[in-house]
Structure 1
Amino acid sequence: MVVVPTRRVALLGGGFSTDEDGLLDDWLLGRARSPRPRVCFVPTASGDAPAYIDQFLTAFRSRDCEPSVLRLFRRELDDEALRTYLLGQDVVYVGGGNTANLLAVWRVHGVDRLLREACDRGTLLCGISAGANCWLEGSHTDSFGPLTFLRDGLGILPGSVCPHYDSEPGRRDSYREAVATGRLSAGWAVEDGVGALFADGRLEEAVSRTPKARLRRVWAEAGQGARERALPCRLLGGGEAGAAATGRRR
């Protein structure tokens, strides 16, 4: 019997670039399929910013993993080598920046197709901000300057997502309006400090590095506009911030 790998995606509201405690990155590595995972950082959304790359390597070289970086603005791999490299990763970790630019560059180089294939083979896809936006059908973004919506994601996860839901002015109201008016489909509001793991499109686990941070489900209801529901998150580092999420969605 052929065993089909679970397709897994993690949305991060933090990590090495924002948090000093490392709790979300430790949690993430603990969900990899290998005890010493190969972790590829993809900084396309930041234009392969050198300081961002250095920050990743500093954080992950001290962990029990094999970190590497995929640079596309100075690409060194041909198509065959690029496919071999990406399909050989246990975790693909996408950094923040400009979501629209990220998707455009990926499509030019065929990375979008390769990431779908990697996911189908069991690679854990994840990321923060733009690196979370890219996996869904639609997202809330400032890629074009003002806060707006983007309906051109990879669609590996159904629905939409809004990063920085609790920390950036205007995010909550703008995302709720986009969902209420049908510009974005129902989705996930990710507060800073949260990690959400999806398996085959369904929420499997929600965690938080702070007691107050939550993952929220946002949807439109006829005659009532946008509605939202905070989901329970397991508090990392000891204690509980509610029970583990069960995966029920609206």
Structure 2
Amino acid sequence: MGGGGFTMEPENPALDDYVLGLASAKVPKICLLPTASGDGEAQIRQFHATFGGRGCEPMHISLFRLGSRPIPLRETLLEQDIVYVGGGSMLGLLAVWRALGLDKILRECWESGVILAGLSAGAMCWFEWGVTSSLGSPAPSPGLGFLGGSLSVHMDGEPARLPVFRTAIADGSIPAGYAADDGVALVFRGDALDEVVSSRPNRQAVRIAADGTEEPLTPRLLARPDRFGDEADIAEFRAVRAMRH
């Protein structure tokens, strides 16, 4: 996601409901990794406020608090249907993940069919390169490389990123790739782009080739349901979960 989702547009559940709908499980397990925000409490609270009222099993992992709240990372993440990565510092995110071996664990998750999602830093991290503002001014930064090419986010919300992205592609510093507005999501199946969707009208994404050629990618506008899943099913699920707790 170039931007959007529960942290940027909590009043519009379209993208978050779309993410849940990608899972084959009737009640998907979804785990937030808020590492890029330094495990910010506001991001964690908003995640649970958004997904706690839907037909899913939400949880989060605070990597900065593993000392006081230990958790088996590999086993826990491989049990998830969806791993959702929040926004923040791409440089900080990847440094912590690599120190704890999450780069390898998440690749194993991806290869086993776990859906990997995220916005901003949590979207660019899956590509070979992104354009981060972690140090102030936008600058190219390497990612995990699960997906080939590059991604620049917040195309409309932070327009200073796009010229840096274009220049870096033109001079060969980074490979060709994509740029996306806030509210736009690029959906990959395996490593191939399958669909472009948006939570808002009149949003855009673009594919930029190595020679600078730009191809507009018009997103499919998502509906804005009030909830994910059938109301009766969710009520039953909440009752069962409350009894378990």
TM more than 0.5: yes
Match of 1:130 in 2: 121
For residue 89 of structure 1, give the secondary structure of its aligned residue in structure 2: coil
Q: How does 1:72-87 map to 2 (within 5 A)?
A: 72-75=63-66, 76-77=69-70, 81-87=72-78
Matches within 5 A, 1:67-106: 67-75=58-66, 76-77=69-70, 81-106=72-97
The list of structure 1 runs, each at least 4 consecutive aligned residues, that deviate by more than 2 angstroms after superposition, is none
Q: How far off is 1:169 after superposition?
A: 3.1
Contact 1:12 1:126 in 2 (8 A): no
Of 148, 153, 167 in structure 1, the residue corresponding to residue 157 of structure 2 is 167
Residue in structure 2 matched with residue 37 of structure 1 by the alignment: 28
1:1-250 aligned at under 5 Å gives the runs 11-19=1-9, 20-75=11-66, 76-77=69-70, 81-151=72-142, 153-221=143-211, 226-237=212-223
Local SS of the residue matching 1:105: helix
Whole-angstrom distance in 1 between the partners of 2:14 and 2:105: 29
Shift of 1:183: 1.2
User: How far apart, in 2, do the equivalents of 1:210 and 1:51 lie?
Assistant: 24
C-alpha contact 1:207 1:234 (8 A) present in aligned 2: yes
- Would the aligned equivalents of 2:2 and 2:179 in 1 still touch at CA under 8 Å? no
**In the TM superposition, what is the alpha-carbon distance from 1:24 to its structure 2 partner?**
0.5
> How many aligned residue pairs are there?
221
Q: How far apart in 2 are the matches of 1:159 and 1:92?
A: 21
The answer for unaligned runs of 5 or more in structure 1 is: 1-10, 239-250
Cα offset, 1:177, TM superposition: 0.8
CA shift digits 1:119-143 (9 cap, x unpaired):
1110000100010011001101111
- Amino acid paired to 2:214: E
How much has 1:117 moved relative to structure 2?
A: 0.4
- TM normalised by structure 2 equals 0.87
Tell whether the 8 Å contact from 1:190 to 1:215 is kept in structure 2 after alignment: yes
> 2:195, 2:210 → 1: CA distance?
24
Aligned to 2:243: none
C-alpha separation in 2, matches of 1:137 and 1:37? 28
CA contact (8 A) 1:135 1:155 kept: yes
Structure with more of its chain in helix, by fraction: 2
Cα offset for 1:46?
A: 0.5
Q: Percent identity?
A: 46
Unaligned runs of 5+ in 2: 225-245
By how many angstroms is 1:174 displaced?
1.3
Distance 2:108 2:173 in 1: 29
* TM-score normalised to structure 1 length: 0.85
Partner Cα distance (2:176, 2:151) in 1: 8
Q: Quick one: distance in 2 between partners of 1:219 and 1:140? A: 16
1:96 aligned partner, one-letter code: G
SS in 1 for 2:59: strand
SS of equivalent to 1:73: helix
2 CA distance for matches of 1:216 and 1:181? 19
The Cα of 1:227 is off from its aligned counterpart by: 2.3
